[in-house]
Amino acid sequence: MPGGTRRRRAGVRFMLLLSVLGTGLFCPVPALGQRPADFAGDWSGTLAVPGAEIPLVVHLVHEGGRWSGTADSPMQGAAGLPLARVRVQGASLEFALANIPGEPRFQGELRAGSIHGTFSQSGQTFPLILSRQKLELPQRPQEPKPPFPYREEEVVCAGGDVTLAGTLTIPEGEGPF
């Protein structure tokens, strides 16, 4: 029975090989050299809603194996809005804006260096593409930069138990103003 024993051993080896290969098919392992998508950093895009285009900036951080972040809506004067339920899986990203009415959330996928997805709030859904490029915001006169075209004087007025203080700005040149 030496031939039967050899066949049996070959059959056992074949079954063992199949079971090892089969196990590999059902246990996903990242491909060699494949890295998870890198979402960390600043992303910006413009949300087109009926009647307006709203610039959005998203700041994503990956620390200690956990994702977190904040969002800014410069046109609405909102900065540092905390993100909730930030989830990254492969090339997919999901997050919600915490404590904002209408439960705003974003779901997207990294493609060609940009995150293509949808922004949903109050039952409405809008396409949104976030990219790493910096969002150029218009220069606001409420945020002037020196040199200023005026003179500044600190003023203090005391009267009884009350003291008022402020900065007086005086235009350059001759008055009347």
Summarize pLDDT for 59-112 with one digit per residue, the tens. 999 999 899 999 999 888 899 999 999 999 999 999 999 999 999 999 999 999
- Residue 35 φ/ψ, nearest 5 degrees: -115, 150
Using the predicted structure, report yes or no on whether residue 172 has a pLDDT greater than 60. yes
34 or 35, which is more confident?
A: 35
- 22's torsion region: left (phi>0), alpha (psi -120 to 50) or beta? alpha
Candidates 2.40.10.10, 2.40.128.20, 2.60.40.10, 3.40.50.300; CATH matching 41-131: 2.40.128.20
Residue 121 has pLDDT above 90, yes or no: yes
